[in-house]
Amino acid sequence: MNQEAWRDALQLASMMAESNPAAPASNPDLGTAVLERPEEKTEEQRSDTGDADRFAHYVSRDRIMESQITGRPVVALCGKVWVPKHDPSQYPICPDCKRIYDEMMR
Ligand SMILES: [Zn+2]
């Protein structure tokens, strides 16, 4: 795929709420299945306040549209899986997504 196609296909979506870490990134179709993993819920290795998730990530536009219809989670360039609901313009761009995106535009 060439750069223009990528630029056209990708869109920013914000990472907030409804995050669904239990959904396997490789198979978003399982998004409706609830996986109970109580042991992993209590302690997550992340920076603290949860602000780490307040980023806008690059996601395939088709996936976003599909998510809005089906309610299924999307997969960002960086591998984040969640259901986008918030306005991405209010959040900084995810550094991982930006790096991957920039490399694709090179
Ligand atoms: Zn990201």
What pLDDT sits at residue 53? 67
Taking the centre of ligand 1 as the mean of its atom positions, its distance from the CA of residue 5, in whole angstroms, is 19
How many folded domains does the chain comprise?
1
Per residue, the 3-state secondary structure of the chain, as one string, reads: CCHHHHHHHEEEEECCCCECCCCCCCCHHHHHCCCCCHHHHHCCCCCCCCHHHCCEEEEEHHHHHHHHHHCCCEEECCCCEECCCCCHHHCCECHHHHHHHHHHCC
Range of 76's domain?
3-24+50-104
- The pLDDT averaged over each successive group of 10 residues in the chain (106 residues) is 79 61 47 50 43 80 91 94 84 94 91
pLDDT for the residue numbered 46: 43
- Determine the distance separating the centroid of ligand 1 and the alpha carbon of 80, expressed in angstroms: 6
Ligand 1 centre and the CA of 58: distance in Å? 6
Residue 77 in any domain: the answer is: yes
Tokens encoding 24: 């396997």
- Asked if residue 33 belongs to a domain, the reply is no
According to the model, what pLDDT value does residue 100 have? 95
- Rounded distance from Cα 53 to ligand 1 centre (Å): 9
pTM of the model: 0.58
Q: Which two tokens stand for residue 52?
A: 């780490």
- 52: β partners: none
The reply to whether 66 falls in a domain is yes
Asked if residue 75 belongs to a domain, the reply is: yes
Q: Which residue bears the tokens 């536009």?
A: 61
